[in-house]
Structure 1
Amino acid sequence: MIFGLTFFTKCAQKNIEIEITKISKEIDETSALEIIDGNFLTLNDSGDDPLLYVFDKNGKILSKNLISGAQNRDWESLASDENFIYIGDIGNNKGNRKDLKIYITDLEFNLIDSIDFNYNNQSKFKKKKKNKYNAEALVSFSDSLIIFSKNRKKLTTELYFLPKKPGQYSIKPRDSYNVDALITGGDYNSKLDLIALVGYSYSIKKQFLFVLKNFSNFSNNPSKIKKYDIPITNAQIEAVKIINEKEFWMTSENEGGGYPKLIKVKTK
């Protein structure tokens, strides 16, 4: 496997520049992104062992870390703070899961505990593809975690807040954004007070970056959400990490291009 092959493309119309680097096929289903000690941390979604993968900017895997005591039902996201890593086992494509949770590990990948939750207003658990109880985005925000839903029914994203404390919680949406897309990943940068989300639309076959400034004081005003088309094919972007207000790291699953991708996006 050859790593580090980078492509460059520019789309002036959408004010986006992207660089693409091949990453190892061992993480074909990359669905999350964090930065630990200057390297990237990711995971494969459902079907893989409970592993976290560390890889570098050339796409080479540096280590595989087994989270002993955890199970990968449908891992979809990662978040972190100065003390812990949070693994979102929150994928719920058919809306029928009753074991949703967020694993907590230390920075050496030792399992500490878990945050278990259910959706307060869900009473039926019949399998349904277009449901509002699926999620793939998780961010660390002060002393809370925020889940951004992947609402196939309304193409909105609901915000659910959870404390960073082990326990069992029943959660209600605190806010909802009309993004007209399926949200697959998110990140929050406390120094910039900035939220970045990524998602896609099946109907128009496009993928998007959403940027929300001044998130702490944000109200549900669509004009305050900047939406960018990401000019990329054979990809499904499922994770984002903020570099600064204009630049973002992303990863994409292998969607027909032959390899998963590390993507650097610059907005103008």
Structure 2
Amino acid sequence: MRIKSCFLLIFGLIFFAKCAKKNIEIEVTKISKEIHETSALEIINGNFLTLNDSGDAPLFYIFDKNGKILSKNLISGAQNRDWESLASDENFIYIGDIGNNNGNRKDLKIYIADLEFNLIDSIDFKYNNQSKFKKKKKNKYDAEALVSFNDSLIIFSKNRKKLTTELYFLPKKPGQYSIKPRDSYDVNALITGGDYNSKLDLIALVGYSYSIKNQFLFVMKNFSNFSNNPSKIKKYDIPITNAQIEAVKIINEKEFWMTSENEGGGYPKLIKVKTK
């Protein structure tokens, strides 16, 4: 079932003293309740690839544009502690076991799988400036967004303390790493997903406010030459209720696929967003 709607929104770059009216269209498709905690999104052979976050088996789910599951694929040898994201390149799929709600994990990693969903290896990491691992809800060591960027992977943090997102770069090579933030964006949101399109040199991030009442899309053009200039970050309100958007996939500069967990709406969602 698809629901198409068009809303007139206030498009505001919240810290940037600039505000203009924009139109945004969304199409919503129900997807199988079996993937009620969909937390990542990739496209494989014209279909969608997703996963459930913590608590599920180490499974990939492939589903079509109608929300029907086509196959389930076990990633043998992997463990789903808190899978939150997917990224890919021409050779591999990267699984971000990077969820860290309480800031106390010591086993953060990114699994590397081939395009046939065979586990190859892993990238293990820790945050260089973290010395305490006591449970703390408002911490700065949670993350849910992972993107493939040239020869690197970038983690965008979900900083529950400052509502910023820090950028951590990792090589795409197995090993153990201690990572430091290379940059920080003042997004005033909890970032839950991201994607990079190399042909467009475009970054898209999604996130929400603490109340989960407001869902956001962030777009950054010319990312290879991007400096931390807030006026270059476009922030859109996504007009949807009973949702917690967790993943985004770029279609083009104006269109994006997203998925949302089942957040009080009775079903998880595939969402197509078009900005104008």
* TM-score, structure 2 normalization: 0.92
Equivalence map 1:173-184=2 (5 Å): 173-184=181-192
* Cα deviation digits, residues 91-116 of structure 1 (max 9, x gap): 00000000000000000000000000
Extract unaligned runs of 5+ from structure 2: 1-8
Query: Displacement, 1:7?
Result: 33
Q: Residue 158 of structure 1 contacts residue 177 of structure 1 at CA under 8 Å; is this kept in 2? A: yes
For 2:270, what is the secondary structure of its paired residue?
strand
- In structure 2, do the counterparts of structure 1 residues 2 and 65 end up closer, same or farther at CA, with 3 Å as the change threshold? farther
* Cα deviation digits, residues 30-83 of structure 1 (max 9, x gap): 000000111100000000000000000000000100000000000000000000
- In structure 2, do the counterparts of structure 1 residues 24 and 83 end up closer, same or farther at CA, with 3 Å as the change threshold? same
Return the alpha-carbon distance in structure 2 between the equivalents of residues 116 and 122 of structure 1: 15
Q: Residue 157 of structure 1 contacts residue 183 of structure 1 at CA under 8 Å; is this kept in 2? A: yes
Q: Residue 11 of structure 1 contacts residue 17 of structure 1 at CA under 8 Å; is this kept in 2? A: no
* Cα deviation digits, residues 205-243 of structure 1 (max 9, x gap): 201000000000000000000000000000000000000
For 1:180, what is the secondary structure of its paired residue?
coil
Q: Residue 9 of structure 1 contacts residue 19 of structure 1 at CA under 8 Å; is this kept in 2? A: no
* Cα deviation digits, residues 144-179 of structure 1 (max 9, x gap): 000000001000000000000000000000000000
Greater shift, 13-22 or 75-84, is seen at 13-22
* Cα deviation digits, residues 119-145 of structure 1 (max 9, x gap): 000000000000000000000000100
Extract unaligned runs of 5+ from structure 1: none
- In structure 2, do the counterparts of structure 1 residues 17 and 128 end up closer, same or farther at CA, with 3 Å as the change threshold? same
Query: Displacement, 1:202?
Result: 1.9
- In structure 2, do the counterparts of structure 1 residues 113 and 121 end up closer, same or farther at CA, with 3 Å as the change threshold? same
Equivalence map 1:35-50=2 (5 Å): 35-50=43-58
For 2:107, what is the secondary structure of its paired residue?
coil
Return the alpha-carbon distance in structure 2 between the equivalents of residues 145 and 133 of structure 1: 17
Return the alpha-carbon distance in structure 2 between the equivalents of residues 4 and 208 of structure 1: 11
Q: Percent identity?
A: 93
Return the alpha-carbon distance in structure 2 between the equivalents of residues 177 and 9 of structure 1: 16
Return the alpha-carbon distance in structure 1 between the equivalents of residues 193 and 11 of structure 2: 24
Q: Would you say 1:226 and 2:234 are equivalent positions?
A: yes
For 1:216, what is the secondary structure of its paired residue?
helix
For 1:195, what is the secondary structure of its paired residue?
strand
**Which residue number corresponds to residue 127 of structure 2?**
119
Return the alpha-carbon distance in structure 1 between the equivalents of residues 257 and 191 of structure 2: 16
Return the alpha-carbon distance in structure 2 between the equivalents of residues 104 and 73 of structure 1: 15
Return the alpha-carbon distance in structure 2 between the equivalents of residues 61 and 197 of structure 1: 25
Q: Residue 5 of structure 1 contacts residue 21 of structure 1 at CA under 8 Å; is this kept in 2? A: no
- How many residues are paired up? 268
Q: Residue 98 of structure 2 contacts residue 108 of structure 2 at CA under 8 Å; is this kept in 1? A: yes
Query: Displacement, 1:15?
Result: 1.8
- In structure 2, do the counterparts of structure 1 residues 129 and 50 end up closer, same or farther at CA, with 3 Å as the change threshold? same
Q: Residue 11 of structure 2 contacts residue 22 of structure 2 at CA under 8 Å; is this kept in 1? A: no
Return the alpha-carbon distance in structure 1 between the equivalents of residues 27 and 14 of structure 2: 6
**Which residue number corresponds to residue 4 of structure 2?**
none
- In structure 2, do the counterparts of structure 1 residues 216 and 7 end up closer, same or farther at CA, with 3 Å as the change threshold? closer
Query: Displacement, 1:14?
Result: 4.0
Return the alpha-carbon distance in structure 1 between the equivalents of residues 259 and 63 of structure 2: 12
Report the aligned-residue RMSD.
Answer: 5.8
